[in-house]
Structure 1
């Protein structure tokens, strides 16, 4: 019988498990190639393969890519669950991930003069979680490459890096990161206002 503290009670942990299982499928000879081809996001097939707006988030290019993303998701995702709830975490993760792919499709060329190719990875969705948590807990201290700083400063640092590198040829979807970040900021702000209004109503109701 599973209690409230079960791993499966945390959507963050469920996403991590699914991404890990998906990575094992990617590693299977022959099968992995067709698996990635079927579920990666390609802007050229946005209309004909809409499911890839979701499935690409569960694919990763390498073990290091997977480990880094899942480590960041674990810390930020579980913190956001505590601060905003499981449903909000899922809404932010998937909305940010989907709009990251759409932003990558339509912003890469006009703004940064790059042609977007196929994309995989949960980074855009995780940026959304990161940004939403920053709106709710901006002064929480984190370590970025062993350097302590406030969460809001870390977000600015990562956003600046992605903006400056957006036009590079480093094979990283920086426009997807930035799109997810702005979605997360918006959703985090909405949650913060709702929570503040709820708290204010409860306070007034006591009088």
Structure 2
């Protein structure tokens, strides 16, 4: 087996949050290398990535660069900024995937970032303290807070183990972050804090809607599934359909697959209720294993 094959296998086994960590690191590495080379040869600082990857607060500029609503939350210019975000994404992503699958992570991350970007733009064109200021937005933190607050809305009493010593419920972590965002608004990073609040609000709201059985991102999921199907190799094998008796294909008016899916979701809901009431540590080893496999 070649080294490339080994890399592909390892990437396949990574969780969706770990893959997004790799994407953010790869984008940062490309930007850093290009910027360093440009500086060495031109004795100047390259503004290309700042101009075409960062989200501008100016609506007139945004109209000419609409893609920045998406690219900004994969873009970092500071290693410290990148490092703090990938650490948060690693831990909060793992917690989120206990309760949800990869597609839900993707939707929280993408839509949380988009919503936060809109809040950033609206704020700089609405609030008197910000209207006259020029600003850009970069970084994955708003998307990450969408993931964290989504997990919090789902199971507020789930305990986050800090260094294996302190057990902090998610609602406490989210509350402290909210206070941090609000208290920091009058200072240097007002736009960033507003974006954080936007991402956090969206993640919390989305998860509450999911608990009601409403998936506001289902249309996006269908679109992504359709696009992915274009790149899947078509099989030459023919499918043979056999008619089976009604008693074999239906159980309580449902197909076996529908029945199994219903039972699985019911078991997940019961486990999540148990976490909400008694905390994650109250689960049995079997329940923890089931929840982990269900989140894959």
2:45 equivalent to 1:34: no
Alignment map for 1:32-181 (pairs within 5 Å): 33-44=47-58, 45-108=61-124, 110-111=126-127, 113-114=129-130, 115=133, 117-142=135-160, 148-170=167-189, 173-181=192-200
| Structure with bigger gyration radius | 2
Q: What is the aligned length?
A: 199
CA spacing shift, 1:61–1:171, aligned 2, 3 Å: farther
**1:23 partnered with 2:28:** yes
Measured after TM superposition, the shift of residue 100 of structure 1 is 0.4
Detail structure 1 runs of 4+ shifted over 6 Å in the superposition: none
**Larger CA deviation: 124-133 vs 80-89:** 80-89
- Quote the Cα distance in structure 2 between the aligned partners of 1:77 and 1:35: 27
For structure 2, list consecutive stretches of 5 or more residues without a partner in the other structure: 40-45, 215-261, 268-296
Answer yes or no: is the 8 Å Cα contact 1:134–1:151 preserved in 2: yes
Query: Paired residue for 1:190?
Result: 209
Q: How far is the alpha carbon of 1:161 from its aligned partner?
A: 1.2
Matches of 2:148 and 2:87, distance apart in 1: 12
The offset of 1:172, in angstroms, is 6.3
2:15 corresponding residue in structure 1: 10
- TM-score, structure 1 normalization: 0.83
Measure the CA separation in 2 of the matches of 1:79 and 1:118. Answer: 30
**Other-structure match for 2:257:** none
Quick one: distance in 2 between partners of 1:87 and 1:168? 36
CA contact (8 A) 1:144 1:154 kept: no
Q: Is the 8 A contact 1:26 1:36 kept in 2?
A: no
Q: State the Cα deviation string for residues 157-186 of structure 1 (Å, max 9, x = none).
A: 111111121121247610000000100011
Taking the aligned partners of 1:37 and 1:56, their CA distance within structure 2 comes to 11
